[in-house]
Amino acid sequence: MTKMRLTTLVLAVGVAIAGAGPGAAQDLDAVSFGTNWLAQAEHGGFYQAVADGTYKDHGLDVTIVQGGPSAANQALLMADRIQFYMQGNLIGSFSAVEQDIPVVDVAAIFQKDPQVIIAHPDSGVDTFGDLAKLPTIFMGKDLFTTGFPWMKAEFPGFKDEQIKPYTFSPAPFLADKMSAQQGYITSEPYAIETVGGFVPKLFLMADYGFDTPSTMIEVKADYLEANRDVVQRFVDASIIGWYNYLYGDNTAANDLIKQDNPEITDGQIAFSLAKMKDAGLIDSGAAETGGIGCLSMDQVKSFYDKMVAVGVVKPDIDYTKVVDDSFACNNVGAELKGE
């Protein structure tokens, strides 16, 4: 046997052995997951599952496609450019049903939507209803057309005249102590504390009845039908990633987050993580019995009924079409939480 043929044989055997092992690259199903905003701690469990190999252990090669102000990740989902998308909350899901967009939510990482209304500590606001007394609330168009109708129905006194545009800057709020502003409990309060030098009052809308789940895993209906095993593995691995991110060593995941989003700081990440835990965004509701990611049809119906009542969602849609609750609620990875 010539030296060249022997070398070729050795290389071929080496490649075959390398390809035969568990988790080998060619054995993995390659999928992409598009988030709905820039990388942050609120996406931590997904980054954790990449960083610690949980996705690979489940036979997946996962690429996270970062969202952001100029991203169109849901459009990429519909174009089959990505296989999974992070849906913000059920309003987007109901809208999909209304428009005959064939998508399905298969898990809900957040049991509570992180949306808050933020007030100054010395403004005389002690309850959610007290916010109606303030002359100004800085609010974006999306929340004004979805959450604000619910606020007006549930807490009499809120008026359209209170609303001024929210420009995603805390400056107008900081300049007017008799104002409030929208935000996510994991994000804007950190900027307010850092720049304003005070701890604001936070009113988490979920705690007052705005009970949509959030950070949902969404897939196209035809992809789900053809790849149920892949979807199940992605859901399971993502859930395990979230348990490890919340209760284990999340250093490598945070490094990946900062790599994708160099503007984020360690301080912001730590603040967001603490708020996710303190506010029970993830470990509450259906997750208390079914584990992280549990998507409860009872919760879906509750929120649907509320949105129909205030005219945000049409009353004649089949909201059950956009949810498949068979993939989560199995307490996958729950033992990782510990005591």
Strand pairing category for 136-139 and 179-184: parallel
Asked whether residue 95 falls in the same domain as residue 175, the answer is no
In a domain, 268, yes or no: yes
- What's the pLDDT score for residue 339? 56
CATH number of the structural domain spanning residue 225 = 3.40.190.10
pLDDT digits (tens, 9 = 90+) for 1-40: 433 333 333 333 343 333 444 444 459 999 999 999 999 9
Q: How far apart are CA 258 and CA 39, in angstroms?
A: 7
Residue 69 has a pLDDT of: 87
**3 state SS of 229:** helix
What is the model's pLDDT at position 70? Answer: 82
Residue 158: per-residue pLDDT: 98
Number of domains in the chain: 2
Please tell me the distance from the alpha carbon of residue 28 to that of residue 285, in angstroms, as a whole number: 34
Residue % of the chain over a pLDDT of 70: 92
Whether the pLDDT of residue 256 is over 60: the answer is yes
Residue 71's pLDDT is what?
83
Amino acid (1-letter code) at residue 61: D
Judgement on whether residues 185 and 99 belong to the same structural domain of the protein: no
Task: Name residues whose C-beta falls within 8 Å of residue 49's C-beta, 6 or more positions apart in sequence.
Answer: 55, 62, 237, 238, 240, 241, 244
Residue 62, domain extent: 28-112+212-337
Confidence at residue 31, expressed as pLDDT on a 0 to 100 scale: 98
pLDDT of residue 26: 59
Q: Which residue in 218, 202, 219 sits closest to 281, CA to CA?
A: 202
pLDDT score, position 270: 98
Domain endpoint, select from 170, 191, 208:
208
Residue 238 lies in a domain: yes
pLDDT of 139 reads 98
Cα distance between residue 93 and residue 101, in whole Å: 9
Question: Do residue 217 and residue 93 come from a single domain?
Answer: yes
pLDDT at 103 over 90: yes
198 and 254 share one domain: no
Helix (H, G, I), strand (E, B) or coil at 306: helix
220, 327: one domain: yes
Nearest CA-CA partner of 106 in 192, 220, 249:
220
Last residue of a domain, one of 152, 173, 208: 208
> Which of residues 98 and 17 earns the better pLDDT score?
98
Alpha carbons 164 and 176: distance in angstroms, whole number: 13
**Domain presence at residue 86:** yes
| 149, 184: one domain | yes
The DSSP symbol for 99 reads: T
Tokens, residue 242: 């979230």
The count of other CB atoms within 10 Å of the CB of residue 59 is: 16
- Same domain flag for 306 and 217: yes
Mean pLDDT of the chain: 92
Same domain? For 187 and 268 the reply is: no
Residue 11 belongs to some domain of the structure? no
303 DSSP assignment: H
Q: How confident is the model at residue 221 (pLDDT cuts 50, 70, 90)?
A: very high
